[in-house]
Chain A
Amino acid sequence: MPKSLFIVIVGCGRLGSHLANGLSAQGHGVVVIDRRPEAFSALDAQFSGFKLVGDAVESEVLRQARLDKADLLLAVAEEDNVNLMVAQVGQKVFAVPRVMARVADPAREEAYRQFGIQTVCPTTLAGEALLTTLRESGEARR
Chain B
Amino acid sequence: MKIIIIGGGRVVYFLAKLFVSKGHHPVIVSQDPAECERLSREVKALVLCGDGSHPPVLEAAGAREAEAVLAITLRDQDNLVACQLAAKMFGVPRTLALVNDPDNLEVFRQLGIHVAFSTTHIIATLIEQQAGFDEIVNLMPLAQGKVTVSEVVLHAGLPAVGRSLQELGMPPGSLIGTVIRGEAVLVPRGPDRLTEGDRLIILTTPESYAPAMRCLLGDEA
Residue numbers of A with Cβ under 8 A of B are 57-60, 79-82, 84-85, 88-89, 92-93, 105, 107-108, 111, 115
Contact of A107 among B54, B77, B80 (CB under 8 A): B54
Closest to A89 in B: B107
Interface residues of B (CB under 8 A from A): 53-56, 75-78, 80-81, 84-85, 88-89, 101, 103-104, 107, 110-111
Chain A residues within an 8 Å CB radius of B110: 92-93
How distant is B46 from chain A, measured CB to nearest CB, in Å? 21
Residue of A at shortest CB range from B73?
A81
A92 to B55, CA, bound (A): 23
Tell me, rounded to whole Å, the shortest Cβ–Cβ distance linking A119 to chain B.
13
A88 to B101, CA, bound (A): 16
A85 to B81, CA, bound (A): 7
**Which of B81, B101, B103, B104 makes the CB contact (< 8 A) with A108?**
B81
- Known A-B contacts A107-B56, A108-B53; the reply to A81 vs B81 at CB < 8 A is yes
Q: Are B103 and A111 in contact (CB under 8 A)?
A: no
Note all chain B residues with C-beta closer than 8 A to A84: 77, 80-81
Q: Which residues of B contact A111 (CB under 8 A)?
A: 55, 85, 88-89
> Is B55's CB under 8 angstroms from A57's CB?
no
> A50 vs B145: C-alpha distance in the bound complex, in angstroms?
38
Measured in the bound complex, the distance between the Cα atoms of B85 and A20 in whole Å is 30
Asked if B101 contacts A57 (CB within 8 A), the reply is: yes
* A107–B55 CB distance below 8 A: yes
Q: A59-B101, A92-B110 are in contact. Are A85 and B56 (CB under 8 A)?
A: no
CA distance A8 to B108 in the complex (A): 21
Please state if B85 and A108 are interface contacts (CB–CB under 8 Å): yes
Residues of B within 8 A of A92 (CB): 110-111
10 cross-chain pairs, A with B, having the tightest CB-CB distances, nearest first: A81-B77, A85-B77, A107-B55, A81-B81, A59-B103, A57-B77, A82-B77, A85-B80, A81-B78, A58-B101
Closest chain B CB from A100 CB (angstroms): 17
